[in-house]
Amino acid sequence: MYLILAGGTGSIKLVRGFDNANIISNVGDNIWLYGLYICPDIDTIMYGLADILDKNRGWGIKNDTFNFMKQLRYYGIDTWFSIGDKDLATHILRSEMIREGKRLSEITDILRRRLSIGRRILPATDDRVETYIESNNGIMHLQEFWVKHKGMLDVKNVFYKGIDDAKASDYVLDLIANAERIVIAPANPISSINPIISIKDIRKALIDARDKCIAVSPIIGTSAISGPAAKYMQALGYDVSIYGIADLYSSITSSLVIDKSDEKYSNIISTKFDIDVYITDIVMRNNEDERRLADFIKNIK
């Protein structure tokens, strides 16, 4: 069985390309807001696999309405983060179960079963880990930086609150040890993948599994395929290129899939980081591309 380390919007495309891979999901984007526990990456993967994702936005449920938001505004609430009315049902159920003392991994398993999703979606940890951005306008939650401030501030640092004490959720270490292959999705390396691979026991398990791990680059040339990856990588001192990606992942992956336009860097990457480099078109524009890239990865020996 394949195992995919995933964020949200950038990852669901590749996740869909594989028929039955299990998923370990980032939790660093999670936030308590309006009395609700919102888990954007888990939900994007769940909605994508249940075929109810709003593909244009890349988050939330398609054909949703926003009356809940209207009413919050009527009450004078600053509604910088939009929750659709259908999406709200997920957050209400999840928050109720959290308050009952259930673990996030149990809750996610209940929700994915109710959405008739046959594969496991495991939050990396049941502990609270949240990604924070240190900007020129102070320190704030990643969602506040990305949604409220539209990612426009200068980023000085990115850190993961709670990461030092976080433990892998049940089954995560078993899934890593027993996976046929581990695939790192072309997600934001700093805000989606790093909060997973920086959890100590997960990192140790991944180092032991290095030989069966394949990472797909989220960077082409000197820019991210989508989102604020470049800004975050720069802030943490990584080159915004496949070199920076290899640098970040080299202790846990033995293979890196890069775009054909980056072919010229493949020798330097293999030599410097002891990584096998595979070259293809990594942009996923439609379902065919998703399947094509997944098949390409499955054919790596």
Q: What is the largest CA-CA distance in the chain?
A: 60
**Residue 83 vs 219, nearer CB to ligand FO1:** 83
Handedness of CA 286, 287, 292, 298 (dihedral sign): positive
> Is residue 228 a contact residue for ligand FO1 (CB under 6 A)?
no
> Is residue 147 a contact residue for ligand FO1 (CB under 6 A)?
yes
- Cβ-Cβ contacts under 8 Å for 213 (sequence gap 6 or more): 181, 182, 183, 184, 206, 252, 253, 254, 255
The one-letter amino acid code at 193 reads: I
**Residue 143 vs 169, nearer CB to ligand FO1:** 143
Residue of 34, 50, 52, 82 interacting with ligand FO1 (CB under 6 A): 82
The token pair that represents 17 in the structure block: 């390309």
Give yes or no for a contact between 195 and 4, defined as CB atoms under 8 angstroms apart. Answer: no
**Please, what is the minimum distance in Å from the beta carbon of residue 142 to ligand FO1?**
7
Stretch that binds ligand FO1, among 80-88, 164-172, 255-263, 283-291 (CB under 6 A): 80-88
Stretch that binds ligand FO1, among 77-85, 110-118, 169-177, 239-247 (CB under 6 A): 77-85
CA–CA separation, 7 and 196 (whole Å): 9
Of the candidates 91, 72, 90, 89, the one whose C-alpha atom is nearest the C-alpha of residue 80 is 72
Q: Mark 109-128 with x for binding to ligand FO1 (rule: CB under 6 A) and - for no binding.
A: --------------------
> Strand ranges (DSSP E) for 43-148?
121-123, 130-135, 138-141
Stretch that binds ligand FO1, among 7-15, 155-163, 201-209, 279-287 (CB under 6 A): 7-15
**Please, what is the minimum distance in Å from the beta carbon of residue 259 to ligand FO1?**
21
- Opening angle at CA 102, ends 99 and 107, nearest 5: 105
**Residue 48 vs 181, nearer CB to ligand FO1:** 48
Q: H-helix or E-strand containing 152?
A: none
3-state secondary structure 136-147: CCEEEEHHHHHH
**Please, what is the minimum distance in Å from the beta carbon of residue 300 to ligand FO1?**
26
Q: Mark 24-63 with x for binding to ligand FO1 (rule: CB under 6 A) and - for no binding.
A: -----x--------x-xx-x---------------xx---
> Is residue 130 a contact residue for ligand FO1 (CB under 6 A)?
no
**Residue 82 vs 280, nearer CB to ligand FO1:** 82
> Is residue 234 a contact residue for ligand FO1 (CB under 6 A)?
no
**Residue 85 vs 276, nearer CB to ligand FO1:** 85
The token pair that represents 282 in the structure block: 């990594």
CA dihedral 167, 171, 172, 173 (to 10 degrees): 80
Residues of this chain that interact with ligand FO1 (CB under 6 A) are 7-9, 29, 38, 40-41, 43, 59-60, 81-83, 87, 143, 146-147
